[in-house]
Each structure stands twice: as structure tokens, then as C-alpha cells.
A and B are shown apart, each in its own frame.
Chain A
């Protein structure tokens, strides 16, 4: 079974620039999550999708972050404009019917200079 795919794996940008991340969940997984993991901390939920609808985006900084999941499969997360404090690993996860986010992608490490 293929895992959760994410790209790019690494991205370096300057502050105020824009960046986009892509996630392809495991086939058939209706629930998709985006997490932000700052160095030395646990993952923090940014947004959760059920199919192509948003379940929870209460911790998404909506003035600069946006996410979409067209057709209920792939998802993109965008930051515009980026700030220094956005430097982190952005993780995508998906789940079938089980309770917890079970399958995480390898993440995209973002460095904002």
C-alpha cells in the first residue's frame, strides 16, 4: 500500500514570499489533516478535511494560510506571505475509519529566511 505522499520535501524562501505544499493521501482515505511541527514541539493541527469539506480550521492563520482539497483527494496548503515564524515541518496525514490520524507523510521542511 502506498503511503501519504508530500512534495516538495524541502523549501527555502525569503519572508513575504509565497509557498505551496502538496499532499496525496492514501487512496480511499476520506479524512486528511495538515499539521505544523515546529522544531522541538509536537505537531499542531492546522486544518482537517472530510472528503472536500473542512471539519476544523480553528487553528489555521487564515490571514496568510489557505488550504483546499479539490475532489476530495489531493490537497494543497499555501502560505502567502510567509513569516520567519512559519519555519517548520508541514505534515500531511490521512485516516480511513480509525480514530486517530494514522498515516503521516514525510513532511515538507520549510525554512523562511
Chain B
């Protein structure tokens, strides 16, 4: 089955700086990659996604890049704010049904 690895496990940045979270996947058939934000005591919230026919996607301060050849994708958050502090998960899917999640990155934005 698919194996998704995520790094780093924890990340601290100063407010206003950028944060980058990286994921790799093993199954070359995976073609859809969502990212989730999970705040304490809440369920994950889908924040952005990318399909394998696209190399980059942006939504305001959030962007995701995908390198199919290297089988890795990354989440970029610019101009970080304290409310960006949360646990972020990447996921990969090749069927649209079974999603394999990474182990999560705990992001802390220091005011």
C-alpha cells in the first residue's frame, strides 16, 4: 500500500516568516494530494489540495507544490500568523476513496 512520510514533525517560526512542510509518497499511482489543518480538540479541516496534473496551486497565503518524478509535495505558508499554529497533515490517494495520511507537523508561530 501507499506510504506517506512527512517532515518535520515540529516546526517553530516567527510571525511573518514562511513555513514549509514536506511529504513524500511511495505509490506512483497516487494522483490526489490534500492538506489538512487540525486545531486542538477539533477534527482536521481540508485547507488545500492538488491533483497530479498540476505542479503548483495557490490560495492566498497557502501554496502547495508537487513533484511527481520525485514523488514529493510540499505545503508553503507565507506571512505566518499566530492563528496558523496547528497540526498539519498531508495525504495521498489514487482512488479517491482510500486516503493515506502523513504523521503530522506541529506548527507553532511565535508572535
Contacts and interface: CB of A to CB of B under 8 A. Distances in A.
Contacts, number: 54
A102 B32 CA distance: 13
Given A48-B97, A100-B49, A40 B103 contact: yes
A95 to B, nearest CB: 9
A107 B98 CA distance: 19
Contacts of B93: 99-100
Interface residues of B, number: 22
B89 to A, nearest CB: 5
A56 interface: yes
A45 B44 CA distance: 13
B42 A106 contact: yes
Interface SS majority for chain A? loop
A84 to B, nearest CB: 21
A102 B46 contact: yes
A101 interface: yes
A112 B50 CA distance: 38
Interface string A41-73: 111110010000001100000000000000000
A61 B41 CA distance: 26
Contacts of A102: 46
Interface in A56-113: 56, 91, 93, 99-102, 104-107
14 contacts: A4-B43, A42-B4, A42-B89, A42-B101, A43-B89, A56-B98, A99-B49, A100-B34, A100-B46, A100-B91, A101-B46, A104-B45, A106-B42, A107-B42
